[in-house]
Structure 1
Amino acid sequence: MRHKNIYSQFYVWVVFTLFTCLAFGQNEALFEKGNSFYNNGKYQEAIESYLQIAENGEHSAALYYNLGNSYYKLNQIAPSIYYYEKALLLDPDDQDVLNNLQFAKNMTIDAIDVMPQTGIDKLFENFIGRLSYNSWAILAIVGMILFVILFLLYYFAAFSTKKRIYFGLSVLLLIISVASFGFAYQQYDLEQGKRPAIIFSKETSIMSEPNMGSNEVFKLHEGTKVNVLEVLGEWNKIKLADGKIGWLPSSELKEIKDF
């Protein structure tokens, strides 16, 4: 039975490896095919090739960047912004994506002013935003391990001078570790609260309540970026960068973090 299990696991591994290689090869071929279509001005055909890659479960900044470019060439603003934003999720510092996203945003109708932050809030958010919540958590764990090591060194040290040094360093690392855990939680909470989406409808009415019988509070147009606060049936509660809040049908937008 033991040999049978080993052979079965080996067989599964071989099949998985072959499947992965075949899928990778197929996606590479589709990507090159899409690039060829794009270079020849066949933007719709390029889109179809790129979308097949996404449907195969592969997600990359390069793929979404090319999709954004293809839709932009067809003057389809909402999907171009949508895919540029997806590319930025995977590579936030890509200047090509940032530049092309700005070109696409210049073609939108809605001018949304960003709600100003207070000095302390802005400094705090910029500081904890320097690292992801995973990085903060790793820093906290490393700090806690070093704290334990230094505390043990303090406990077993024979000289008072070394004891003071080890004790001071251990306390410092404990503070850093606890603070890092707090920052990790804050960063995770911020990330979970962000559900960015792009308006795909040419024009949509934002309602005061999740039904068409309520009052219209304002209108939005294709390409505008919003944040989804809540989903209730077929309605989404959204918030704009300027603080405005309202409801619209779920079919009128697409969430960026859908992979």
Structure 2
Amino acid sequence: MKAIKIYLVLLLCCFSSIGFSQNDQKFSEANTLYNNGKYAEAIDKYESILDSKQHSAELYFNLGNANYKLNNIAPSIFYYEKALQLEPNDKDIQNNLAFAQNMTIDAIDKVPVVGFSRIINNVVNIYNTDTWAMIAIAGVLLFVIIFLAYHFSHTTTKKRIAFVTSVIALFIACFSVAMAFQKYSLNKKYNPAIVFSQESRVKTDPSATSEEVFRLHEGTKVQVIETYDDWKKIKISDNSTGWIPTKDIRLLKDF
């Protein structure tokens, strides 16, 4: 029985290796098509890799580049944004995304976050949720070790140093836990999407017969805050809200 299990695992590994090898070949072929100026064919080849559920920042970046060459505004921005989710500090992705965003029609003022909220958001966004959690665990472990050192110290000076250090470690642990929960909360609320419709009419209510609030055009980034049937309630960067047909947008968090 064990031999059969091992055989099945090895068989699955072989199929995975074959799949990765085929995708590497497709990726190479797509790059060749792109370099030869055959952007539409390159897009088809890149998307066939996505169909196999293999994702990478490089793949999304190249898809963005190919769509940008064809002046496909919404797809280019969409794929650059996807790439940026996987590699948030990549300068090439950031620069190309900025170029693509210059092709959009909508000029929406961004409401700045000011005061204490801005400070908290800046601190929270330094690390992701997992990193904040690891810092919290390290802080707790450090607190326990130093507290034990305090307990077994015999001199007043060593006890004082150990006590102060343990308090600092405990503070770091508690602060990191708070930041981890805050980051998790922000990630849960963060649900961006890109408008794919050439022009979409945003309504006051999730109904085609309701009053129009404003119009959005392809490539504009929105935040989805609610879903009702075939409608999404969205917010744009100036904090205006409204309902848009689900078919007019594509969610960025879907992989």
Cα offset, 1:242, TM superposition:
0.9
How far apart are 1:237 and its partner, in Å?
A: 0.5
Matches within 5 A, 1:63-212: 63-212=59-208
Secondary structure of the corresponding residue to residue 237 of structure 1: strand
Give the distance between the partners of 1:135 and 1:238, measured in 2 at CA: 30
How do 1:210-221 residues align onto structure 2 when only pairs under 5 Å count?
210-221=206-217
Unmatched tracts of structure 1, length 5 or more: none
The question of 1:11 aligning with 2:7 is answered yes
Give the aligned residue type for 2:62. N
Name the amino acid aligned to 1:49.
K
Which residue does 1:56 correspond to in 2? Answer: 52
Identity %: 47
Separation of aligned partners in 1, 2:186 and 2:87 = 19
- The 1-side partners of 2:249 and 2:93 are apart by 21
What corresponds to 1:252 in structure 2? 248
SS at match of 1:242: coil
In structure 2, stretches of 5+ residues that fail to align are none
What is the number of residues matched between the two proteins? 255
Give the distance between the partners of 1:203 and 1:144, measured in 2 at CA: 53
Secondary structure of 1:197's counterpart equals strand
1:152 Cα deviation from its structure 2 partner: 1.4
Q: RMSD between aligned alpha carbons?
A: 1.0
State how 1:12-51 maps to structure 2 within 5 Å: 12-51=8-47
Of residues 229, 237, 247, the one that matches 2:225 is 229
Q: 1:228 is paired with a residue of what secondary structure?
A: strand
Shift, 1:102, TM fit: 1.1
The separation in 2 between residues aligned to 1:8 and 1:188, in whole angstroms, is 42
In structure 1, how many angstroms separate the alpha carbons of the residues matched to 2:157 and 2:98?
59
Name the SS for the 1:209 alignment partner: coil
The one-letter amino acid paired with 1:234 is D
Letter in 2 for 1:22: I
Q: TM-score by structure 1 length? A: 0.96
TM-score (norm 2): 0.97
SS of match in other structure, 1:107: coil
C-alpha deviation, 1:8, in angstroms: 2.8
